[in-house]
Structure 1
């Protein structure tokens, strides 16, 4: 069976996974600056028959370079419906491809309503009904982005490396605690607004800060590694079936 390469080209890193059938052979991540070296190492290992699927929310030049070096990539674009998920956005195609992939993964990983939270450079908080209908979601600065914005926009506040303490009694801890509670507050408030307790919804968190944020949530929650890549894997599997219903759309960034 032909291998499948999955690419999640985010704002700061490239996350990737190599599949044999539906088996995850290996996965990893690298910073944007290290992508040329990663391409060189990966290109030597991939057979020409490799299928390639990706999500891109970074600069198009990076996506174009990946295609130039690795070959044609099916870049996921949000659609009105795919892989059991219905897109409730006013303009479905304007939903971020990373959010769309995460929603697809959540629908296939969890039975029931879910709050799909991706914790990276930005934090996205998306509501998914049990039947796979995406009702809408939030975008806010990620945890590290919040800290950085205070350091860049003020004269006397540092990039905080403090701890979460309540009440905080120093500036470092005050910033760390405030930024984390802003994340937690947004997630929990949206959960209540969307009547999460009434329907027994679960929050599924993924991304670099998922463990930190999940540990402070007072709602049902669990972390899932590589939610975006898992969604891409579902799309790739669907596209390999006879007469696929256009679950993946080839898109040139």
Structure 2
């Protein structure tokens, strides 16, 4: 079985694929100081609840936007799976796509993996919106190439900035407040974040499509995306497995077997 690990700035996702289907998925808060021996007991117990164990794993692939976390995850794979992990972005790991930006080395591993995962399922051209610590809009061409995109602060980061910079603004839940005009501080903040995010995403999608000049599908993924499901006429698919699917496809493109 394959253990696919996606390290984001806020959360790290672990997923197991048996060659036919995803058997289980878990999330943990990202902590670059967490050692392989600290990951192992938690992951072992999580696997046991799904009827799995480290002995079932024979391969590992890692995508990370937190370079400091890689050392410990590499050790996790070596010690507990007894396999050298494939690491997105390292020499010899083929993505199978062209990166058509001015400085290809600057493209984040998560954005490239998302491009692969979205293209495999939906084809191109498409826009992949990933809502996490940052919100990214990535453009995937008709032939699957990565053509750049947009990066802006994520919704939780914006809320945190409001709370920390303004002494009287509390932390609030992200949800539809039921109306646009807030009648108290909490509902006003919720309206600003919820409807402001919707209008921002719809506006950027319109601009991207106008500039690109041809019809494009739009796929939303990431930890916050599900909050907005049903609110976007511009979103064609809400898909939480885009990144895992991309890791699986890259593993196969590099000769991985089950």
- TM-score normalised to the size of structure 2? 0.81
Q: Structure 1, residues 15-63: CA drift from partner, whole Å, max 9, x if none?
A: 0111122422222212236863424546992238711101111251x32
SS in 2 for 1:158: coil
Moved more, 81-90 or 185-194: 81-90
| Contact 1:163/1:173 (<8 A) preserved | no
Aligned equivalent of 2:139, options 127, 144, 161: 127
Which residue in 2 is equivalent to 1:17? Answer: 15
Q: Give the 3-state SS of the residue equivalent to 2:60 in structure 1.
A: strand
Say if 2:222 is the partner of 1:207. Answer: yes
2:122 matched residue in structure 1: 110
2 CA distance for matches of 1:234 and 1:115? Answer: 19
Match of 1:191 in 2: 205
Instruction: Identify which range, 186-195 or 225-234, moves more after superposition.
Output: 186-195
- Note the C-alpha offset of 1:109: 0.7
1:222 aligns with 2:237: yes
Q: Report how far residue 83 of structure 1 moved.
A: 4.9
5+ residue gaps, structure 1 = 243-253
Q: Deviations over 1:48-98 (max 9, x none)?
A: 8711101111251x321122233132110189x955532122111211101
For residues 100-141 of structure 1, give each alpha carbon's deviation from its aligned partner in whole angstroms, at most 9, with x where no partner exists: 100100110103321101111111111222222322211112
- Find the residue that maps to 2:199 and give its secondary structure: helix
Partner of 2:184: 170
Contact 1:188/1:217 (8 A) holds in 2:
yes
Tell me the equivalent position of 1:4: 2
Is the CA contact (8 Å cut-off) linking 1:56 and 1:63 kept in structure 2? yes
Tell me the distance in 1 between the aligned counterparts of 2:102 and 2:90.
12
Work out the CA distance in 2 between the residues paired with 1:90 and 1:183.
Answer: 29
CA contact (8 A) 2:7 2:65 kept: yes
Pairs within 5 Å for 1:77-156: 77=89, 83-156=95-168
Residues in 2 aligned to 1:83 and 1:73: alpha-carbon distance in whole angstroms: 15
1:158-209 residue CA offsets vs partner (Å, 9 max, x unmatched):
1123643212222212212212233323322222222269633221111111
Distance 1:78-1:137 versus aligned 2 partners, 3 A rule: farther
2:22 aligned counterpart, secondary structure: strand
TM-score, reference length from structure 1: 0.82
Among 76, 84, 88, the residue aligned to 1:76: 88
> Equivalents in 2 of 1:17, 1:173: separation in Å?
37
